[in-house]
Structure 1
C-alpha cells in the first residue's frame, strides 16, 4: 500500500490507516477474537499505520492493538497514540462507560492533563498497555478547553520527546479547525489528525487549516471521513458527528449517494477518497471494527472514480468549487 511522509522527519503513514476506536468497543462490544481478526485482515491488505488512544475503551484499544503488533516486525509499521487524558483507576465501580461512547466496564475515569508531566505519564502508560518500547507519532488529543496549557506545557514536552528521539513526529488531533490552525502556524508540529472537518459534507478545513499546513509542510491525516457513519450509509437515524443527523444534512448525503450511484461509485468510496485530493493530506484514517469493513475499505481504495463525478459534485454545489479533488486537483 502506498506510503506518504508525515511532517519533515522520518515518520510515515500508509494512505489508508487503521483507526482503533471500533476495536475499543465504540458504541457496541467487539470480542477479542473479532478484534484480532480485524487487525489481521488489515495487515493482510497492506495497512501498516495504526492509530489509537487511551480514550478508546479506557485503554482496551491500546491493549488489543499492542497484542497484535508485538508479533509483527517493528520496522514494518507505524503507530500513533494520544496524550491529554490520564486513566485513573476506579476500584469497585460496577458501571459501564457507555456515557462516553464505549461498551466497556468503567474500571477507570478520564482526567484531563496537558501538563508536561501529564504528557510523559500518559505516554508511559500507553506504552505499558501496548507492550511496545516506542510509538512513532503522538498527538495532543482534543485540547479544545485546554488550549493555553496545551500550547504552553504539553507542546514543549512533545517537542522534547521528538528531540530526544523518543517519538518521530508530534501533532494535534481534533474535530475543529481553529486551534489546529494555531498549532500549525505557531508551533513546529509535524501533523494534524483532523476529524470530520475535511469531508464531502464539511470542507471547513479548506478555509485556513489546509492552506496553512501546505505552506508549513505539516501533514494532515483526515479522520472521520464518514462523519460518524452518515457518508457510509445515509438513512434516517444515521449519526452525523456523533449525534442524529439533522434532516437537511441527511438529505444532502442522500443526494450525494444518488449522484455517486449514477456514476457507478459507492458513496463511501468517494467519501474515503475525497480528502486525498488535497496536497496537504498524507492519509485517510478509517475507524474499522470488523474484517468485512477492512476488506471493503481496501477494495474501495482501489476503485476507479471518474473525474465526471467530482465535476458534477462541484457543479451541483455539493462540494466547494475550490476543493481539490483526486486526479485533477
Structure 2
C-alpha cells in the first residue's frame, strides 16, 4: 500500500529560523532584525519559524514588527507551545538559556488545554497576526505524560476548530519524535540536528515512521550548531565545543567538498533533502548578508560525485539516501 501523502504545508525549501531575533548568544539591533526578515522574504525564504522560548518572546515581537504591512498570505508562519511566559517577580533571576538582553519574563512549562491556548493567544499578539500556519509542541522530551494526557489533545482540538492548520513537534531528539509520530496524528515535525552530514540518527528512527505515516519533516540545525559551517577547533557541535574527532571528520568533509568546488555549508544544507519526507530546512541568520549567503548556497549545484566521494572515504554511510544535483532554490 502506498504511503499517505505529506500534507501541503506551503513552505519553501529554505526557511528562516528566528532564534537569533531573540538575541541568541548576542544582542541584535532592531534595524538588523527587520533587515533579516525582510531580506528573507524578498529572496523567497517565506517560511518563518519562531517560538516564545526565543528571547522570552523577543523573537516573536521583532518578527511581528518586521512583518507589519506584509500581506499575510505571502508567508508561512510557525511558532511553538509548551512554555508559557509570565512577568518576573521581584528578585527573580530566570535562567537565560542562551539568550541575552531579553525582556523581564520567565518561562514556565504548561501543557494544560488552557495553557496551550493562552500561550498561542499571547504569541499571536506578539506576532501581530490572527493566525499561524503551524504550531509545534516544543522540547517535550521530558514531559511526555503531559503531552499525551493534555498537550497534544489540546493542540489537536485547535486544529479541528480551524484555529491552526498544521500541528506537530519540534525538538532535538529524533527517537522521541519517532514515538510521537507513530502514536499520534502529527502533520509535521521540526527535527533539529539529527539528520545532518554528521548525525544520521533520524534516518534510523524518525524518518521511516514519517514516510510511512505521511508526516512532513522540517530539518533544523543543518550545520550542527556551527561545526559544519566552520569546521575548526573550538567550533560548536550540539551547543557545546566539538570533540576533536568530530572536528577532524568535518574538516575532511570540507576537503572533499573543496575538490568539487562546493562549500561544505552548501553540502550540509542540501544533504537532508535526500530523504523524501523532508520538505523544508530552516536556517538562522544574524544579518541580511547571512540570509543572502544561505540563499546563494541553496542555489548551488552539488554534483553527485561529491556524495560518492564522501561515501568512498568513509565520511558518509553507504546506505543513506543522497540528494540529486538540482539546486534547492
- Partner SS for 2:11: strand
Q: How many residues align?
A: 322
Alignment of 1:275 with 2:272, yes or no, is yes
Take 1:328 and 1:279, find their aligned partners in 2: how far apart are those partners?
15
Tell me the equivalent position of 1:58: 56
Cα shift at 1:74? 0.9
Runs of 5+ in structure 2 lacking a partner? none
Structure 2 contact 303–325 (Cα < 8 Å) conserved: no
- Partner SS for 1:144: coil
Cα shift at 1:310? 0.5
Tell me the equivalent position of 1:80: 78
Cα shift at 1:11? 2.7
Larger CA deviation: 319-328 vs 208-217? 319-328
Tell me the equivalent position of 1:178: 175
Cα shift at 1:79? 0.2
Tell me the equivalent position of 1:327: 324
Structure 1 contact 203–319 (Cα < 8 Å) conserved: no
Q: How does 1:120-269 map to 2 (within 5 A)?
A: 120-269=117-266
Alignment of 1:318 with 2:315, yes or no, is yes
Cα shift at 1:12? 1.9
Q: After TM superposition, which residue ranges in structure 1, 4 or more long, deviate above 3 angstroms?
A: 91-97
Alignment of 1:119 with 2:116, yes or no, is yes
Structure 1 contact 190–219 (Cα < 8 Å) conserved: yes
Q: Deviation digits for residues 53-86 of structure 1, max 9, x if unmatched?
A: 0000110100011112231111111100000101
Take 1:227 and 1:281, find their aligned partners in 2: how far apart are those partners?
17
TM-score (norm 1): 0.94
Larger CA deviation: 312-321 vs 278-287? 312-321
Take 1:11 and 1:308, find their aligned partners in 2: how far apart are those partners?
32
Take 2:299 and 2:66, find their aligned partners in 1: how far apart are those partners?
26
Structure 1 contact 190–218 (Cα < 8 Å) conserved: yes
Cα shift at 1:94? 8.6
Take 2:26 and 2:256, find their aligned partners in 1: how far apart are those partners?
32
Take 1:94 and 1:31, find their aligned partners in 2: how far apart are those partners?
26
Structure 2 contact 58–102 (Cα < 8 Å) conserved: no
Take 1:279 and 1:61, find their aligned partners in 2: how far apart are those partners?
31
Tell me the equivalent position of 1:89: 87
Question: How large is the RMSD of aligned CA atoms in angstroms?
Answer: 1.6
Tell me the equivalent position of 1:3: none
Q: Deviation digits for residues 132-168 of structure 1, max 9, x if unmatched?
A: 1010000000001101111221111111111111111
Larger CA deviation: 277-286 vs 317-326? 317-326
TM-score (norm 2): 0.94
Runs of 5+ in structure 1 lacking a partner? 1-5
Cα shift at 1:325? 1.1
Take 1:179 and 1:94, find their aligned partners in 2: how far apart are those partners?
33
